[in-house]
Amino acid sequence: MLQEALTKYNEIIKGKQFSFAGRIRVNMGNIYYNQQKYSAAIKMYKMALDILPSTSKEMRYKITKNIGHCYVKLGQFHDAIGHYEQILKGSPDHKTAYNLIICLYATGDKMRMKDCFTSMITNPL
């Protein structure tokens, strides 16, 4: 019933009566991701980032990671790299570092791949 959920979410957002519009946009992005509509998911995630306050750092990093995953699915590795690097600057974790290494490998950037791997194994994330 994903389409029904999207319809209801759109109704709620158009009404502008719901204070958690950012969270609804994230949910819509997740539905589009599951439907393999990655461009639409990216659009929703970016709209959510525009709404969320800058104080919600962890949520912003999670959304940014989702955007990176969408770019990987679309084969747009350079865009994914930018998003993964942004996450590693603020909230580093091994999964994101690993995803970054894979994207760097896909683009043939051996030097940055080596630097990322070295950083990953020498610095606890």
| Per-residue model confidence as pLDDT tens digits over 60-70 | 999 999 999 99
- In sign, the C-alpha dihedral spanning 33, 38, 42, 44 is negative
> Residue 60: which CATH number?
1.25.40.10
The helix/strand/coil state of 18 is: coil
* Same domain (yes/no): 85, 41: no
* Same domain (yes/no): 67, 38: no
* Same domain (yes/no): 39, 87: no
Q: What is the pLDDT of residues 37-47, one digit of tens each?
A: 999 999 999 99
Domain of 20 in residue numbering reads as 1-52
50: tokens are 């525009």
Profile the chain (125 residues) by mean pLDDT over runs of 10 residues.
Answer: 84 72 90 96 95 88 97 97 94 92 96 91 74
* Same domain (yes/no): 10, 58: no
Short-list 72, 125, 115, 71, CA closest to 95: 125
Number of domains in the chain: 2
* Same domain (yes/no): 44, 58: no
Q: What is the value of pTM for the model shown? A: 0.88
d(C-alpha 66, C-alpha 52), whole Å: 15
Distance of CA 74 to the CA centre of its chain: 13
* Same domain (yes/no): 69, 101: yes
* Same domain (yes/no): 75, 112: yes
* Same domain (yes/no): 104, 86: yes
Q: Which of 52, 70, 94 is the last residue of a domain?
A: 52
Q: How many CA atoms lie within 13 A of 108 on its CB side?
A: 0
* Same domain (yes/no): 26, 62: no
Distance of CA 114 to the CA centre of its chain: 24
